[in-house]
Amino acid sequence: MATAHKDEKNIKLAFFINLLFSIGEFIGGFLINSVAIMSDAVHDLGDATALGLSWFLQKFSKKEGDQKFSFGYKRFSLLGALINALILIAGSVYIFFQAIPLLFNPEHSNAQGMVWFAIAGVLLNGFAAYRLHKGKSVNEGVLTWHLLEDVLGWVAVLIVGIVLLFKDIHILDPILSIAIALFILFNVFRNLSKTMKILLEGVPQEINLDEVHSRIEKIPGVLSVKDLHIWSIDGEEHAMNVCLSVTGENLAESTAIKEKVRSTISDLHIIHSTIEMDWKNQ
């Protein structure tokens, strides 16, 4: 429960940092007459909206099971991760549309304004990304890339701003923007693949089904494993359904075998397990 509360707190912090900074960008961009800063403010405001949605869904995912969702609401945090991944993809495509024309017609920017905003952007978004990076949920993993995208973007702005203070090479801005967008897309699709695997009830990446099968079959009294299914609830907690052919014929022996099975898989974060018995007399 403490970890869950910390996850929610980290997302809340990242939301407020992004929201306040985007407001600051709107004001600063207007004052220094920078279209680039104003455009990034729109992007950051979209990030803040995504973070706010994730904060709500992460909090909502803590609800216990009921008549509608017997496993609880944990997968609602995955919904946040999925929405955020789609927003990141859309944001990266937007960057391509903005940056590619600038390769052929670079625009002049306010170099000093870019440098100061870049420093603030790197520090604030870097701090928020660091806090989320320590979280374990899939939602936090995707959100970390939201903020890392901003950090890398501001690093690029900082580099370009410093160069522009001395050299008039404005094409560096769109080149760096495209490189960052490609890097972000690569990692977003990797996280999106992980999210979709959980939603499609695939075997968790860190679990080897054959190894679990072998572990259970080695338990005294177990003749064979007929059906074994393992899937993840939210990327952190897993569930298992298994049917065993066993020796014996009384409740005490059945209870003992089930306890041994659960003990054998205790290191796999399997919180929910259903173990069925098919008795074979020898």
Residue 228 parent element (H or E): strand 222-232
49, 159 Cβ separation under 8 angstroms? no
Report which of 55, 61, 37 is spatially closest to residue 158, judged by C-alpha positions: 37
Share of the chain above pLDDT 90, in %: 4
pLDDT of residue 1: 46
25-60 burial: b if 16+ Cβ within 10 Å, else e: bbebbeebebebbeebbebbbbbbebbbbbbbbbbe
pLDDT of residue 24: 81
Q: What is the pLDDT of residues 227-275, one digit of tens each?
A: 899 998 877 789 999 998 888 667 777 788 889 999 888 888 888 888 8
Kindly give, in sequence order, each residue whose CB lies less than 8 Å from that of residue 125, ignoring residues fewer than 6 positions away. Answer: 17, 18, 21, 147, 150, 151, 154
pLDDT of residue 94: 77
Cα Dmax for the chain: 87
Question: Lowest mean pLDDT: which of 78-82, 131-135, 225-229?
Answer: 131-135
Quick one: average pLDDT of 187-194? 81
pLDDT of residue 144: 73
CA dist., res. 85 & res. 191, Å (int): 8
Q: Which residue matches tokens 């024309």? A: 101
Quick one: average pLDDT of 153-162? 79
Which amino acid is residue 134, in one-letter code? K
pLDDT of residue 240: 92
The answer, yes or no, to whether residue 136 has pLDDT greater than 70, is no
- pLDDT band at 37; cut points 50, 70, 90: low
Report which of 220, 274, 215 is spatially closest to residue 247, judged by C-alpha positions: 220
- Looking at the DSSP bridge assignments, the partners of residue 273 are 240
Q: What is the pLDDT of residues 197-225, one digit of tens each?
A: 888 888 988 889 999 999 999 888 888 89
pTM: 0.66
**Average pLDDT in the chain:** 77
C-alpha atoms less than 13 angstroms from C-alpha of 204 in its C-beta half-sphere: 18
The answer, yes or no, to whether residue 62 has pLDDT greater than 60, is yes
